[in-house]
Structure 1
Amino acid sequence: MVSNRALAEALFRLAESFPPGDARLAYLRAAYAVFDEPREVAAARRLPAGIPFEVLPTVSLLARCRGEDALAAAAARFSGGYSGHRQGLARQGFFSAAEVLALPVEEQARKLRGAVHFHTRASDGSSSLETMAHALRRRGYFWAVVTDHTQGLACVNGMDSRALELQKRAIARWNERHGDELELVPGVEAEILEDGRLDVPRSHRQGLVVLAGLHTGLGSSRDQTSRLLRALEEPGVFALAHPKGRLFARRPGIRANWEKVFAAAAAAGVILEINGFPRRQDLEPTLAKLALELGCRFMLGSDAHHPRHLVFDRWALAIATAAGVPPERVVNFQPLGRALESPGVLS
């Protein structure tokens, strides 16, 4: 029996063996459909929806392989012996949906008290602040930090100072009405510029929970250790968001001396995000384990841009569990006051 992850990888490699065109696109669509399928295909004995008709026979044959060796041999025959290239690095260390949903993390998930990373229409989210807040409340959270993008990321309608002030007022109104059930906290996802500074002036960071994230230069092969270290020195940084900047099947993430970065984060009291958005899964378990050994604390982020994305906290929890991160090192399990006890928050 082959896993969805192994079957999807075989389909990705098969797609890459074709030149750009209909066949390549069809196998790519099939690979994503398998990777995102919530149940293991072999156990369900049916193929997921979304697989193009023209590749169904091949996918069906591969899915019936008895073990990964047989799968690799069959895929090699279909691809003419193609063995893959660097693109495959951007798929390493990711959990398939079926793997995540099969993990017994329900009890831990019920103990989550807060959410730290989500977006609204104020930047690139698809829903209003109130819609997201009501969805968070229904999921049982007691507190949540609103973290829309800032103006340095203009391509996603990042907030300027006026938009940020309007959002603070909206948060205050919510807390007046519903704060006893779900308390919202103003925050931002600030852009780390090329020199490591943030796009948010220090004077505007007062009273904000600041996540610092890389969104540019992510395809570069240069080492970006110094850029991250400079960002960790910035006043008011609460957490480093999706530190590696990787994206499933598109880019493996930046190069950096992660031991040095994590040691600096631990020394500065800056928290590291385990981003559960399925296409990010950043940090991955191997790096999260290294950060744990170096004394770091963590936050679990769904990076939700829509209410239905809030379930992605389960992906983050799966990564933390795989890395052996205990709940006491994760701010989401803590009451609000304790969670935000950080030298990175400017009062």
Structure 2
Amino acid sequence: MASGSWINNEQIPDHEKLWKEDVEKLLTQGKSWLTFQQKIQKGRKSDVWDKFEIAHINQQPIDFAKCRMCNSIYVYKSSSGTGSLLRHECGGSEKSTPPAPNQPLINKFTRKLYTDSDVQKLNDEIVIGLSKDLRPLFTVECDGFHRIAQALINFGAKFGQIDSKNVIRHRTTLKKENLSKIVATERIEIKEQLINSPSFPSIALTTDMWLDKYKQRNFVSLSAHFIDQEYSKQTALLDVREYEEDDKSAANIRHSIIKILADYFENSVVDSIVKEATLVTDGASNMQNVFKKHNPCLCHRLNLLVDWTFIDKQLPDPEKIQSRAAKGNPYPTKEFSQAPVKLWKAEGLCSVDPPYLA
């Protein structure tokens, strides 16, 4: 959406329709109803707010923050955290003076208007590029793609037309230098969000395990679900890593989760989380005993219910069922349809309840 007519007059805008560029223009115009104030912090204090202030319109906070030293404007929402603010590299040593209200901006003269033909050519290149890498067209609807695209557009607008191969680093460099730094920053941000949650350490955790059949490697994931300071539900992926324990016992799974939590918190805090948090998993017996507080994943149960109900497998011969049961080796439940399972289980003809009966 383009800037409204209020940019050049005293009409107060709807803050929900503001873009970052709009706030920058309002700052240069010295609008009296646009102010920047120290953020009121609840719980643990964040050092980032020593350098940034929250934008206000008529004393009401809006979703933007300003660097105290260089006056750079950033989009900020409590739900998305302070990652962009932490990554800000400020070159100013003191608060810079914004341009005078009547001073024209340089981009007013250099910005070009694109045509429908330009947009068509750009999208043609996107289709060709995705096709070369065998990527689905759905990629253009993903947040990650738009983050990359916007960063490239901003970079070109600042430095002009350049060869992308001169500025985009090799994957090994990205892994060694960029990835580790970003992960460290994101962990600090997630830790800050979790600690400031009103219910911390009483949060919810979800974990799951799976096997890479090609290399026969096991993996474990851990996500946190919590309420932020604005009382909105948030989810953060804490880690996905290779499962290196000897077996998949409840004690070993608990140990792998503790190692992930230890990357974020001190041992005493980790102990509190293990004691107070609720773990949500599938219905496997080992998963049910990992934490003291446990809830089954209802979506997983419903999926199994549908899968087992419509399983297309011929029933074993009743005589074979009875014969195997008599020998102490009954058929496992998943070998046949679930309609008669409850009765057969009661009669000792099969060994295990289906998940929706367990």
TM-score range for the pair, normalised by the shorter chain length: under 0.3
Higher strand fraction: Structure 1 or Structure 2? 2
TM-score by length of 1: 0.24
TM-score by length of 2: 0.23
Q: Which has the larger radius of gyration?
A: 2
Q: Greater relative contact order (Cα 8 A, min sep 6): structure 1 or 2? A: 1
